[in-house]
Structure formats: structure tokens, C-alpha cells
Amino acid sequence: MSALAEKIDHHWNFADEVEVLTFDMNGETFALEAVIVQEILDLLPETAVPGAQAFVASVINFRGKVIPLADLRLAFGMEGTEATIDSRIIVIEVDLDGEPTLVGLRTDKVNEVTTLARTASEPPPSVGMRWRPDYINCLVKRGGEFIILPNLQAIFSSRHETSGTAV
């Protein structure tokens, strides 16, 4: 079994299907495992954090807690966009350095909770990708489109290491 196939098996926890929340950013469809999603919010007032990287340049108040607000568009090298009536924040819990951490993700639109089949998943191609392949767990073909499952551990770990501060 190749290293990429092992990565996909590990991501799917050897299950045939995974329940995900799909959302759009810059015309691309992404998905997060539903179990890490805490809440979907309308846009909230943001507080800029001086000196923070653009990827996590602000924080929001979520149920009395201050949490970072990340823009995955910037991690993937996409253009930032203005908020629209469909824009939402997905609050997720990710494990960073062994600590469960709440993070808000800015999205253009939240679509649906759906089930994706492991048999439809493929590792990201090693050439021709406009994004870092380590930022993508896998691509899942559904209908005529691909759904991107981001590797949040890689995205937040590399940002955490380069900034020298917590996300």
C-alpha cells in the first residue's frame, strides 16, 4: 500500500463512508468531518489581532470565549473576498499540540451535511495542483465535481510553527 493510500485510509478511519459538512470558498467545494463541527454562525463582529498572520488575523466571541477566526482561502493562496449574505462561520474543534482548540472558519456559503464514500476518494495529484498537496487529505468525486477535504492538522500546524504563537 502506498503512503498516499495509507493517508487516505487513516483519514477515513478505515470506514466506507464519512459524514461531512460541505461549504464553498472561491467557487470550490470543501468538506469537513461533521463530528468536528460545533456550530454554524452568521458573521459576527471581528477584532483584529495586531501582528497576526493574515490567515488568522482576527478573533471572535463564541459563547463567551475568544476564538481565532481563520480564513482558509489565504492558507490555500486564494484571493480574500468580501462577505455576502450567504457568508458563514463554521466553528470547529481541532487537536493542536494535543489540545482541543476551537477555531472559526470563514466561508462563502455552507451547503449541506452529506455522506461521502471512501471509494470515490483520491489523493491529491502530485503535479498540477495550485495548492500545497499536504494541505489536502483527499479529493472526493461526486457527480461532475471534486470535493476537497482539507488537512486541518497540516494547515494549522504549519501556521502555528511559522508564527511561533498559538493559532
Residue 5 has a pLDDT of: 47
Residue 2 has a pLDDT of: 44
Q: Which three cell numbers stand for residue 19?
A: 459524514
pLDDT-based confidence at residue 7 (cuts at 50, 70, 90): very low
> What pTM, to 2 d.p., does this model score?
0.85
71: CB partners within 8 A, 6+ apart: 54, 55, 56, 57, 80, 105, 106
Classify residue 64 as left (phi > 0), alpha (psi -120 to 50) or beta: left
Residue 1 has a pLDDT of: 44
3-159, what's its fold?
OB fold (Dihydrolipoamide Acetyltransferase, E2P) (2.40.50)
The answer to whether 145 and 29 are in contact (CB under 8 A) is: yes
Using CA atoms, how far apart are residues 19 and 1, in angstroms rounded to an integer?
25
The residue among 122 and 91 whose pLDDT is bigger is 91
Using CA atoms, how far apart are residues 22 and 90, in angstroms rounded to an integer?
11
> To 5 degrees, how large is the angle CA 81–CA 82–CA 83?
115
The string over 33-46, giving b where at least 16 C-beta atoms fall within 10 Å of a residue's C-beta and e elsewhere, is: beebbeeeeeeeee
Using CA atoms, how far apart are residues 123 and 130, in angstroms rounded to an integer?
14
pLDDT-based confidence at residue 92 (cuts at 50, 70, 90): very high
